[in-house]
Amino acid sequence: MDAQRMKPPGGRAKPAGRRATGEAEIVVADGEGIVREGDVGHDMFIVQSGQVRISKRKNHGEVVLATLDRGDFFGEMSLLESLPREATARAVGETRLLVLSRGGLLFRLRRDPTFALEMLNHLSSRLRAAQARLIALEPDE
């Protein structure tokens, strides 16, 4: 795992452990960025403790999309699709994260198969919520 690649925009995250499994742990201070919208990144993150606020630029401001708690994950879209980050993630309070590289995700899916079901469950919920927002935006006929 490339420690520099994990360095957040604020730059003060510190690796707290590293494994041969493609996983690492980082601790991010309150308010520090973890990933920034538009940046290139190939890792995903699981919140071990603390919270993470996900936001997206809109006009000249920012819209908060979600606040993630322990056990939630983010960053999987860039990992799976090799596309730039869709949103910005910032720590709320001191936050500990498990960082998974692509190899790390594959390793985990083999060793911790229930994670795949949890990912599918979460992604399905997010898709349902996105569809609901889309419908809400449609003008009534």
Partner 1 sequence: MNIEAAEEHLVVVSDLHLGNPASSARTRLVAFLDHVRDSGASVCINGDGFDMLQTSFRRLAADAIPVLNRLKALQADGRNIYYVVGNHDIVLEHFLEEWSLCRLSPFLNLRSGDRRIRIEHGHLYDPFFAQSPTLYEISTRLARYALFTVPDTYKVWAKAQRRLQDARHRRVGRPGPAADNGHRPLSLLGSPYHDAASMILRRGFDAVVFGHTHLAEMVTLPEGVYVNSGNWLSGAATYVEITKGELVVRTWEGSADAVTVREFRE
Residues that bind partner 1 (CB under 8 A): 23, 25, 46-49, 70-71, 98, 108, 111-115, 117-118, 121
Could you tell me the two tokens for 4? 């520099």
Buried b (16+ CB within 10 A) or exposed e, 20-52: eebbbbbbbeeebbbbbbeeebebbbbbeebbb
Name which of 48 and 55 has its Cβ closer to partner 1: 48
- Least gap, CB of 23 to partner 1 (angstroms): 7
How far, in Å, are 50, 52, 57, 107, 108 from residue 101 at the CA level?
Answer: 21, 19, 26, 10, 10
Name which of 23 and 32 has its Cβ closer to partner 1: 23
Name which of 86 and 118 has its Cβ closer to partner 1: 118
- Least gap, CB of 109 to partner 1 (angstroms): 11
Other Cβ atoms within 10 Å of 57 Cβ, number: 13
- Least gap, CB of 53 to partner 1 (angstroms): 17
Name which of 117 and 136 has its Cβ closer to partner 1: 117
- Least gap, CB of 117 to partner 1 (angstroms): 7
For residue 26, which phi and psi values (nearest 5 degrees)?
Answer: -130, 155
